[in-house]
Amino acid sequence: MLEVKRIILLLSFILLFLVGTLPALVEFTESVTGGTFSNTWNRLGSPDPSYDDDPVPAADASMPAPTPEGDGWGIQFYDANNSYFGIAATYSGNTDDGQWIDLTLTGYVYAYATPQSGTNQQVGFFYRADETSSIEYGRVLLNLPDTAGEIKVQTYTGGWDMQYIDLDNSLATTGWHQLKIVIGGVNHNEVTVYYDDMVTPKGTITNIALGPGQLLEKGGPIGCMILHYTAAPPTPAYFDAITVETPTPAMSTVWSLY
């Protein structure tokens, strides 16, 4: 009997080890490798005429700096026709409710360190949205010239929930940066932002609009997003190496010694 207990204990440890090391499921990738999109990119809404721009492949030579991914291609996406606001969305082909409700979204963005009345635009990703609406989304944008809030964590559902992450002693630099946005928590409304692979000082932020009974409770597509405040046509923005990973299916990590 003692031997059986030992075997069960050993198996439990092995199971615990395996569960702890299972990789997250990669649900989505977009690298524009070879100059071709791997996914269909759509506009949010029905579509909303305000969102009238589409992403296009961009070769290293046409971008201000080569993509850090090293494959020679990125995404150019911005408000090219200067209609004030730019947005793009993408769908994985499976738009079931709850899809990607908890996720890790990673991607590069090319950010400008100029005031937002100049060539700057706020660049980043939205990590949850109602694809049938142009006004329901949660997003993270870089606004590096704002020394008191370089990263914006926002939800919009007809009204804003805006939270700002201040990066101490950071210098605004024009160039590629990596954003990693992790959504999780018991109510799936907790947002943790990593900037160039660093945990940002505010830690985990709760966005009420993502929680139970709220308009952004359900999952949805992810996408690139920009925002600019100048009347002049903005400088192109760039994105690359976008991935979405989701947690592995829930498995019990509780075990007992019988």
d(CA 140, CA 37): 23
The residue range among 7-15, 78-86, 137-145, 246-254 that interacts with Ca ion, by the rule CB under 5 A, is 78-86
- Counting contacts by CB under 5 A, is residue 48 touching Ca ion? no
Nearest distance from C-beta of residue 65 to Ca ion, angstroms? 13
What tokens does 197 get? 């692979």
- Counting contacts by CB under 5 A, is residue 71 touching Ca ion? yes
- Counting contacts by CB under 5 A, is residue 81 touching Ca ion? yes
The residue range among 40-48, 56-64, 139-147, 213-221 that interacts with Ca ion, by the rule CB under 5 A, is 139-147
- Counting contacts by CB under 5 A, is residue 121 touching Ca ion? no
- DSSP letter, residue 236: P
Which residue carries 């192109």 as its tokens?
236
- Counting contacts by CB under 5 A, is residue 73 touching Ca ion? yes
- Counting contacts by CB under 5 A, is residue 245 touching Ca ion? no
- In this structure, the dihedral spanned by the alpha carbons of residues 83, 87, 93 and 96, taken in order and rounded to 10 degrees, is -120
Residue type, 87: I
SS3 10: helix
Answer yes or no: are the C-beta atoms of 23 and 104 closer than 8 Å: no
- Counting contacts by CB under 5 A, is residue 176 touching Ca ion? no
Q: Which residues bind Ca ion (CB under 5 A)?
A: 31-32, 52-53, 67, 69, 71, 73, 79, 81, 83, 147, 166-167, 240
